Every structure is written in structure tokens, then in C-alpha cells.
Amino acid sequence: MLGKLSRIVPSIQRACKNLPFRRKNSKKGKKSFPLLSLPSLVLEKVFNQTDAIDLLNLTACSKNAGGAVKITSKRNSAKTCLLHLRYPRPSITISFHGFRKNLVWMFDKEEKLTKKHVQEDKTLSGYLFNTYREKKKTRHVMCRNENVREGFIKILDHFLQIFTVPIQIVVEPNLGDLMTLFNHPLLLRCSELELTRGYKQYHFGRDELNAICKKIHVKDRFRVDVDTGSTNLRQIFFVENFSICNANWMCSHDLLNLDCRTAKFKRHAFKIDEIEDYALKWLSKPHKPKLERMEFAWDPLEEVWFDKLKTMEWDKTRRSKCCMKNELLTSGTYDCSAAFDFIRKDGLLASIGVVDDVGGSILLFHVWHDRFPTKTQQDLLQKKLADLYIELPEINQLYGVGSVAEQALQNPKLSIERFQELLNETYTHRMALFNSSPELEYWYGFHNQILNVMKDIRFLTLARMSAVKIALKTRMYIYQMQRKVHTRQFTLRNTRGSLVQDLATTTKMT
């Protein structure tokens, strides 16, 4: 044990030199290591290198072990805590930064246990959980407790005591008894809330929507991917980013009252003059630089004309041709060369116009906080690509077949053309052998996501090189003009000096 810990923390041998070892079995001569007796800083480094499921199991050993994990792991925050509320199988997924894999806790008492399952009883925070898992999936814990609502709150409270993490909630319709979860204080605040139709494509009832949105406070993002009819979703007036499927209940007054960073309307009744009024309001408020993006689903045959808004056509020296799509909603870029530009008093540039999107067209209102944002976007995409490559081995393990091509696709040095060729060959081969399946489609979709990010990085690299060339040409042109001006001034000075000298000579002769 001490040898393993020394590889994690090089100074642990010196820190643990005077710690007593306790003999566990005198016949075999095995010794137990007093882990909880380590200094707090050393213990924190040890827990930082420990897998999440091992930390969870450690909290079930004793109160002292649970207390030590809770104290030290507060400084080691996880990435997100995703609550997927669907009846009758709600789940909690904790995702992490770095090497740690996702920890999944799901309530499922209907699956039949076989030889591939391992049953375990865990006592966490004084509550007994009857759990099981597959032998190969150690990070996927299934719970068979009868009282799902009580067990869900207990394990969520336990996770939040271990990990400092923002909560994201995904809700499917027809929750049944799980609706009462939104009355608990733990679910009154979240960073993101998403209402989705799920696999069975149910629709939310008015009572369900009221119960969900009445008390909960969403901080960063609110997304509705299901038709909510004429129900007023007042949460959009208090959230930073939102996307709603049906905004027909909104009027022009509601649009003018929005104070958000990004917004997307998939179905709405706004006219071009109402959107123009919102743009004029944005022009008159130079002290509010908050807005970044608004997207309205739009008929490409409908012409866009502005009566009051004074606009300009796109100029490549004024801003970039393309802008990134909203990172919270989707990935990729929009071609804004056909959009119209206008500038606010504080110098902030905005564009409005119809652009092509997947499945149709949208009316885009984009504010250029960075007029040539290729470098910032490229950094974000590089980070996203690195995260996807970290997750790729686990995706291949869960949804792949262990082929050589799958291993080759994990190489981050592959070119885009080679990656796409290998991906298509592997997909076609698996389709011919095993036919289509949800696992194959998920595997193919994940690899396509990597491919799209790689293409976006290449596009932005080329766009940045083009912008640099334009800047260099502009600078060279300015330099040449300045040289011409200086040469002309020098010639005029010399001519003036010659004239003065000739005049003085003529005066003396006279």
C-alpha cells in the first residue's frame, strides 16, 4: 500500500515514517496501513488521485472515513452533477475534470439479476442502499430500494457533501410520484435545467410545468426541447441563456423585457419590425454589453428589411466572416457574410440577418464582443477536442467491438481525412456484421462530434491566417502611403529652400 501511495505522492515515505503499522493477520504477516492517520495535506493529495467509486466506497466504511473524504474532497471539486429525472428510473451522474471517469448512480429495481451482477449493501449517511452492479462496470451503481424518492434525496445529499459541484437537471414528462422531488430544498436551485420529450415522446402537462418551474431558480441555462403549448415559461426572464421550443405565448413587450446573454426561439410569432425594435433598444443602451446572441427560426423566403435601423454591408476589414454557434446549444460556425452590420455609440458592433442552419434557416442577431474571435474560438475548440479524446477510450469500451480500427481512431495525430476514412470504414463494417443498433449509432455520433470539432479548428486556423494576411497588407499599404507623404514633404522642403536661396542671391546681385 505504501509503495502505491509513494508513486502518487513522492514525499509520502518521509511523511509516514513515524506512523505505526497495525498487524491485520499474524499468521500471514499482513499489515494494514493507517490511511486516516496521514497529514491532511498528504491525505488530500492521495484522495485527489483516487477514483470516484473508491471514494464513495470509502465513505461507507466508517464515520471517520466518510468525514475525512468529505473534508478533503471539498477542495477537489467535480465538474457537474447531472440529475436525470425520468420515471421510474431516475439517475445521478457525477462528471470530473482530468483522469476520473463518470460516476453513475441509477435507481432500477426491475432488472433481473444474473451471474454477471454483484450485489452490495452500502450504508451512506446512515441510510441503507441495496445496490448491484455489473462486474465490468464498477462505476455504474444500480439501486433497488423500494422508496425511490427518499433514496434519491439521500444519495444526492451524500454526493453533494463529498463533491462541490453545480447541479444540472434533465426532466422527462410523466414523472408521476417523482414530481414531489421539486419541493425539496436540494432541487430549488440549479445551474442548468432541461425539459426534454424523452424516448416515448410524451408531452408535459400544465400541472407538471407549474410544479417544476414554480419554485426552482435556474442560474445559467434553461432549455426546453418539447412543445409546452401556451404555457408561460417565466423562467426565461431570469436566466442567462435559454432555448425554448414554443414561444408563441410571447408578445413584443416580452421580447423587449428580456435581459439575457443568449436566446433561441424555435417557434415564435415575432415579426421583423418587432425584432428591429429590440435592436433599436439595444442601440440605445450602451451601458448594457450583456447580450451576445439571439436566434429566431425564420422562413428563408421571407425578405428582411429595416425601416428605422441604419445598417451597413459586411466588410472583411471590420469583422470576421463567420461566428461561432452558441456553445451551450450546439457547435460549429455561422456564415455571416450576408448579415447587416450596425455600430453602437460605445463602438460595439452587431450583425443581423438570415443565415443557414441545420434543418432550416434562422434570423441571427449577433453582437461582436470580439470582431475577429478566431483565436478565442480555436482555444475553446482545442480544449473540447482534448476532452473528447479523453472520453473516447471509455466510449469504445462500452459501445465498440474492440477492433483495430477503433484503437487507431484514438490517435489524436490522425489527419481529418484519415480519421473520416477510418470512421466510415468501421461503421460500414459493423453495420454489415451486426446491423444497426443504438450502441452503434451512439458510437458513430460521438466520433462524428470529434470530426466536426476537428473541421471547425481547421476552418478557424485558415480564417485566422487570412485575417493576418489582410492585416499585414493593410499595414503595408499604410506604410507605403506614409512614405509617399514623407517623400512629397521632403521634396517640397527642398524646393522651397532652393527658391529662398535663389531669391537671396538675386537680391544681393541687385
C-alpha separations of 248 from 153, 210, 267 in Å:
36, 18, 7
DSSP 129-185: EEEEEESS-TTEEEE--S-HHHHHHHHHHHHHHH----EEEEE-S--GGGGGGGGSG
- Which residues of the chain are modeled with pLDDT < 50? 1-24, 26-27, 328-329
Beta-carbon contacts of 202 under 8 Å, excluding residues fewer than 6 positions away, are 172, 173, 174
- Residue 440 makes CB contacts below 8 A (sequence gap 6+) with 399, 427, 430, 431, 434
* Short-list 428, 419, 427, CA closest to 444: 427
Using the structure block, give the residue that is written with the C-alpha cell 414554443: 246
Read off the C-alpha cell for 460.
478557424
Q: Tell me the CA distances in angstroms from 207 to 140, 188, 226, one per residue in order.
A: 33, 17, 15
Contact 290, 299 (CB under 8 A): no
Pair type for strands 91-95 and 80-85: antiparallel
Nine-digit cell string for 480: 507605403
> Residue ranges per domain, the chain?
280-371, 375-472
Cα angle 114, 442, 85 (rounded to 5 degrees) comes to: 70
DSSP symbols for 317-382 = TTS-SEEEPPTTT--SEEE-TTSEEEE-TTS-EEEEEEEEETTEEEEEEEEESSSSTHHHHHHHHH
**Closest to 53 in 3D by CA, of 115, 137, 156:** 137
**Cα-based distances in Å from 336 to 5, 77, 324, 329, 357:** 55, 39, 10, 18, 11
Rounded to the nearest 10 degrees, the angle between the axes of helix 148-162 and helix 52-59 is: 110
pLDDT at 17: 46
Question: CA quadruple 16, 18, 23, 28: dihedral positive or negative?
Answer: positive
- Distance between CA atoms of residues 169 and 86, nearest Å: 11
Give tens-digit pLDDT for 230-271: 788 888 888 999 999 889 999 999 999 998 999 999 999 999
Q: Give the per-residue pLDDT at 303.
A: 82
Which residue has 408561460 as its cell numbers?
Answer: 232
Of 254, 326, 335, nearest to 291 (Cα)?
326
Structure-block grid coordinates of residue 56: 464513495
pLDDT at position 7 is 47
Cα 95 to Cα 167: distance, rounded to the nearest angstrom: 11
Measuring CA to CA, how many Å separate 185 from each of 50, 176, 189, 311? 30, 19, 8, 49
| CA neighbours closer than 13 Å in the CB half-sphere of residue 309 | 28
Predicted local distance difference test score (pLDDT) of residue 349:
92
**What pLDDT does residue 403 have?**
82
Structural contact between residues 334 and 319, judged by C-beta atoms closer than 8 angstroms: no
Q: Residue 19: what pLDDT?
A: 47
Confidence (pLDDT) at 364: 93
Question: And the C-alpha cell for 473?
Answer: 497588407
Report how far residue 407's alpha carbon sits from residue 474's, in angstroms, rounded to the nearest whole number. Answer: 47
Other beta carbons within 10 angstroms of residue 47's beta carbon come to 22
Q: What is the largest CA-CA distance in the chain?
A: 131
Q: Where are the alpha helices (DSSP H) in 400-437?
A: 404-408, 416-434
Rounded Cα distance, 456 and 464, in Å: 12
